[in-house]
């Protein structure tokens, strides 16, 4: 019979499909098994519509058979089969979907689907050409006495001829390509490889996928006695057997009712599926039905993955289409700040044959992602309310990602995440939320105060916090580099602005008596403060007497813009890329001096004695002290050491 030409610009579409739609060749088996499942679905559905009872899915196996000598893989099903016309329309036209037509024809009157069929995009079958130089399909349709064979070697066309086949169903034989330096197609002929692909992509197909496998079994006592010894006189302990085995598990755990699955089963599934030795801290199971239907099974790990904060870590959920794995890491289902969540999504509304590029534009995927995000936020808030200790453990592991989420994308997601973050409290001495802080604020308190530093202990001893803590104001401790950046992006919480304890103005009103004393002290010290500023030059924006220091001699505060902590972070980032920080990356430092400290009295005596060199040494020393308190490097350690020695004489 003469070859027929493919329809739908076959050569261009075949080339596009092989080179663009699929990024890995191994999915060909997934596609063919899914098609076989579709065919069985149709036959099973028709039988049930005709009133046939006692049907069992176990009576409809899909058989996969490799032949290493012939270099073929055969996939056989007992589905509904195809006539010659159906072969021409479904196999002869790329992007034609018989499954979709069947589903449309058998839709319920109310518009809902009567049948969940996996394949709804007709290029899946042709993925087999990625590994095959020739494909042969023998099929006999239900209700037909004649079978037909379809053969093709690719874009050149195909033939359809009568054939012999006893049973209803379809057999697809792939004649594998020859091995090349880049591709070893013969790997697909190995039993272990095929089993691995079935478990990976088609484990939850609802019909048994059967292979004749090779196993080693221990010999029975009688068999040992009857066995011939080898040349060393040893009798064999094992024998090689070949038997049919069902490779797939068929029923996914996420399709079962949550009430029917134990926590132990979920935990074991998580550890097996995602290669962890600890139980997950949180299990989130959800089933959504409606215009968009999907099952999701999510897990929050009990510990931070070893590579979580490295470039090697790949976030994303496994994405299934009706139990068939589409993608192992679908990043589009999770925002970066929830990248620690592991799990999977299974939806019949997502096409099986879809590329990574198509997924990024897929409305169903975006809709599922939005709902999952809301679900995760809801579950985390519920954990915080009902299991505070557990939530604090979770936040210790993954809270940094949430803080980055607030800061990232110019704060686009800050309102979603602001009630999930925790900061250590100076008064409660434990992590607290913004809401808890605001509920405890003093009646006349204008701001939410925070302090930055490398650790809780260091922040507790910072001079800038002395007055606030002495007056009983609660201060949130920011110990991570991203903390202050996140608070700057947030700006405020419940109309209360965030204020660093290192800010120039803390917004605390002084009494009339305190104001009078401070004005008198400032006036008396004006000349000394100006001299200190002249000695330091552009190193500081201003020098003033402090209203926040009690026992410490000196500290920095900062004007508007870049804070002291932000300057440190930006300097480290610049250093990491081999650059020097620019001026706009530096804080406007204000040197605050304790007017009641003996050091200031000593400086006054030097000033009144008009000893400009010693006064400059004092000024430089106080500046370097303030730098060290902030954890910032001093400009010249040798000069600092010499200066200390001069003043000690």
DSSP states of 475-505 as a string? Answer: EEEE-SHHHHHHHHHH-EETTEEEEETTBS-
| Per-residue pLDDT reduced to its tens digit, 410-430 | 999 999 999 999 999 999 999
Q: How far apart are CA 432 and CA 589, in angstroms?
A: 30
Closest CA to 544 of 496, 614, 483, 592: 592
Residue 176 CA, distance from chain mean position: 37
Query: Which residues of the chain have a pLDDT value below 70?
Result: 1, 7-23, 53-54, 92-123, 352-361
Distance separating alpha carbons of residues 74 and 63, to the nearest angstrom: 8
Q: What is the pLDDT of residue 435?
A: 98
Q: Coil, strand or helix: which one is 231?
A: coil
pLDDT of 99: 46
pLDDT of residue 234: 85
In this predicted model, what pLDDT tens digit does every residue of 564-607 receive, in sequence order?
Answer: 999 888 988 888 888 888 888 889 999 999 999 999 999 999 99
Q: Are 565 and 523 in contact (CB under 8 A)?
A: no
pLDDT confidence of residue 117:
43
Residue 194: phi, psi to the nearest 5? -65, -40
């Amino acid at each position: 019979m003469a070859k027929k030409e493919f329809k739908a610009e076959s050569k261009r579409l075949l080339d596009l499909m092989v080179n663009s739609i699929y990024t890995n060749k191994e999915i060909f088996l997934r596609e063919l098994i899914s098609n076989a499942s579709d065919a069985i679905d149709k036959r099973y559905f028709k039988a049930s519509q005709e009133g046939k009872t006692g049907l069992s899915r176990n009576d409809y196996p899909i058989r996969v058979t490799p032949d290493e000598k012939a270099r073929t893989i055969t996939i056989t099903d007992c589905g509904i089969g195809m006539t010659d016309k159906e072969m021409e329309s479904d196999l002869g036209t790329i992007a034609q979907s018989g499954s979709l037509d069947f589903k449309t024809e058998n839709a319920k009157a109310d518009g809902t689907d009567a049948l969940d069929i996996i394949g709804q995009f007709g290029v899946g079958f042709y993925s087999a050409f990625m590994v095959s130089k020739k494909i042969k399909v023998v099929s006999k349709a239900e209700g037909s006495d004649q079978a037909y064979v379809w053969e093709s070697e690719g874009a050149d066309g195909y033939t359809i001829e009568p054939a012999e086949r006893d049973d209803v169903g379809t057999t697809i034989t792939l004649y594998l390509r020859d091995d090349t330096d880049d591709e070893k197609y013969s790997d697909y002929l190995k039993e272990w490889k095929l089993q691995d692909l079935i478990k990976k992509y088609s484990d939850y197909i609802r019909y048994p996928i059967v292979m004749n496998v090779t196993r080693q079994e221990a010999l029975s006592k009688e068999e040992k006695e009857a066995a011939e010894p080898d040349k060393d006189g040893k009798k064999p302990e094992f024998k090689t057997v070949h038997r049919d085995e069902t490779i797939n598990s068929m029923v996914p755990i996420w399709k079962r009712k949550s009430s029917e699955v134990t926590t132990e089963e979920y935990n074991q599934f998580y550890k097996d599926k995602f290669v962890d030795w600890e139980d997950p801290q949180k299990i989130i199971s959800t089933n959504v039905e409606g215009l968009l239907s999907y099952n999701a099974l999510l897990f929050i790990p009990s510990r931070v993955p070893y590579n979580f904060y490295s470039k090697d870590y790949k976030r994303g959920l496994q994405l299934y289409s009706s139990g068939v794995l589409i993608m192992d890491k679908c990043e589009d289902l999770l925002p970066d700040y929830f990248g620690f969540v592991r799990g999977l999504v299974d939806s019949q509304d997502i096409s099986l044959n879809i590329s990574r590029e198509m997924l990024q534009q897929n409305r169903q995927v975006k809709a599922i992602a939005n709902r999952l995000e809301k679900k995760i936020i809801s579950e985390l808030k519920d954990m915080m309310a009902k299991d505070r200790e557990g939530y604090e453990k979770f936040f210790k592991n993954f809270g940094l990602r949430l803080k980055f989420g607030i800061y990232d994308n110019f704060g686009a997601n800050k309102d979603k995440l602001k009630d999930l973050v925790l900061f250590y409290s100076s008064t409660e001495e434990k992590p607290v939320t913004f809401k808890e802080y605001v509920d405890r604020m003093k009646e006349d308190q204008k701001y939410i105060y925070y302090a930055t530093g490398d650790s809780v202990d260091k922040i507790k001893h910072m001079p800038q916090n002395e007055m606030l803590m002495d007056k009983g104001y609660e201060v949130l401790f920011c110990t991570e580099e991203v903390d202050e950046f996140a608070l700057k992006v947030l700006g405020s919480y419940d109309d209360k602005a965030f204020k660093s304890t290192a800010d120039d103005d803390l917004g605390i009103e002084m009494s009339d008596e305190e104001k009078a004393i401070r004005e008198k002290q400032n006036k008396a010290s004006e000349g000394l403060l100006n001299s200190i500023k002249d000695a330091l030059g552009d190193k500081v924006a201003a020098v003033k007497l402090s209203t926040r220091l009690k026992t410490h001699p000196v500290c920095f505060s900062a004007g508007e813009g870049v804070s002291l902590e932000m300057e440190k972070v930006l300097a480290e980032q610049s250093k990491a890329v081999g650059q020097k920080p620019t001026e706009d990356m530096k804080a406007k430092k204000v040197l605050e001096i304790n007017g009641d400290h003996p050091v200031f009295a000593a400086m006054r005596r030097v000033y009144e004695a008009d000893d400009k060199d010693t006064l400059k040494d004092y000024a430089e020393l106080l500046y370097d002290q303030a730098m060290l308190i902030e954890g910032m490097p001093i400009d010249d350690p040798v000069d600092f050491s010499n200066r200390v020695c001069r003043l000690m004489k």
